[in-house]
Structure formats: C-alpha cells, structure tokens
Amino acid sequence: MDENKRAISNNRVYKMKFSSVYPLYIQKVERKGHNKEEVDTIINWLTGYKKEDIAKIISNGIDFETFFNQAPQLNPNTSKITGLICGIRVEDIEDKIMQKVRYLDKLIDELAKGKDMEKILRK
C-alpha cells in the first residue's frame, strides 16, 4: 500500500468511535466463552483506563486517536506484544497510534483464541 493510501486508511481508523468498536470486541470474546470484564481488564492493562473511564469514553463518543492520546498510562510491557494482526507484525508498525490500536486488536484476538489472561497481560 502506498503512503497516501495508508495515511487515508489510518485516518479513518483514528476517527472511528471507540463506542462503535468496543461492542465488537465483547461480541468476539463472548462467542468464545469469555466476557466483558476480561475485555475491560485488557483495556485497563494496556491503557490504564478503569472501568468507569471506559463507560465515560463510550458515552462521550471519543475516537480511537483521542482514546490512545489521552490514555492515563500505556503499559511499559507493550513491547512484549508481538506477532501478526491483519497480516502485519505489530512490533513493526511505525505509526504509534496505529500500533496501539493493533496492540489492542492483538490482545483481544488472544483472549478470543483462549490464551491465558496471565500470558495476554505479559506477566
């Protein structure tokens, strides 16, 4: 993908409302026997947002870019998140916001695939 198309694609993801994607994360993990609390645990681990913060973000219509730019504390162990998501190595993504979005996608995928929460949270 050339740089112009990538920038347009990234911008579209940045402007997506977190509230439109969050229920999809929950649906994905619930189909595999997991739950909303586990999704919230992953979000808290990655970003530092607490359950109450997530509810406010959803009700305020915050987009992904703002969600990650205003995150209280990005987990220092994010460098341990590796592997493919959408055919791209998350550790090689240069755009920092897109990398954080893909980190979250990767962690949700790991939960949906049945990985132990301790391993998902890189303990």
Which sequence spans correspond to the domains of the chain?
3-120
Q: What is the pLDDT of residue 13?
A: 80
Lowest mean pLDDT segment, chosen from 45-54, 60-69, 83-92: 83-92
Residues of the chain with pLDDT > 90: what percent? 84
Q: What is the mean predicted confidence (pLDDT) over 16-45?
A: 97
Find where tokens 């303990």 sit.
123
Instruction: Point out which residues pair with 63 in neighbouring strands.
Output: 17
Measured between alpha carbons, how far is 114 from 116 in angstroms, rounded to an integer? 6
Residues 6+ apart with CB under 8 A from 111: 29, 32, 34, 38, 39, 42, 117, 120
Q: Inform me whether the pLDDT recorded for 75 exceeds 80.
A: yes
Give the range among 2-11, 35-44, 66-75, 112-121 with minimum mean pLDDT.
2-11
The domain made up of 3-120 is a member of CATH 3.20.20.100? no
d(CA 29, CA 38): 9
Side chain identity at 19, as an amino acid letter? S
Give the sign of the dihedral formed by CA 89, CA 91, CA 93, CA 97. positive
Q: What is the 3-state secondary structure (H, E, C) of 51-78?
A: HHHHHHHHHHCCEHHHHHHCCCCCCHHH
Q: What is the pLDDT of residue 42?
A: 98
Its pTM stands at 0.90
Specify the pLDDT at position 111.
Answer: 98
